[in-house]
Amino acid sequence: MPRIRQVFSLWVIPAALVIGLGLFAILAGAAFFLKPEATPAAVGNATAIMTVISAPTSTPQPVATLLTTPTSGMGTPSVVIGGIGAGIYVQISGTGGDGLRLRQQPGTGSEVMFMGYEAEVFKVMDGPKEQDGYIWWYLTAPYDESRSGWAASNFLTVIELSP
């Protein structure tokens, strides 16, 4: 089969350079004429806008008051401190979204069983126990009894149930 020889023309290189420079000149001109002009008043009087968000503060807790409420029938009275007592529903609050550690025993040195979520609801089953400067309550999740542990009352809020 005969081989066809292609000849390369040296005019291709200068023609490509001329076309490229022409396109560059068009783009540079368009960029120069289309750029927005800054007014001296806008540049000299620029004002920074800043939003200040205050840091979270601790919520004052009610003073713990010791009240005894007799239970139905004969037996020992249940203790209510700050509105919290056995059989009452409480909600985790004031943790800033971090949650609350529920522990195996009352006290900050006790093993953490799990983290309770902010706004999670529990039923108070036992307590109070005072340990490490906190009043501790034994809580159980009403939907899952395996979510049980001791929690400090500083991060619990009583839930009022309506009939």
Tell me, what's the pLDDT at 76?
A: 47
pLDDT in tens, 33-59: 876 665 555 555 666 676 666 666 555
Instruction: State the distance between the two ends of the chain, measured CA to CA, in whole angstroms.
Output: 100
Tell me, what's the pLDDT at 80?
A: 81
pLDDT in tens, 81-120: 888 888 999 999 999 889 999 999 999 999 999 999 999 9
Beta strands 78-81 and 89-92, pairing class: unpaired
Q: How far apart are CA 4 and CA 131, in angstroms?
A: 98
CA angle 61, 92, 136 (to 5 degrees): 65
What average pLDDT does this structure show over 149-161?
90
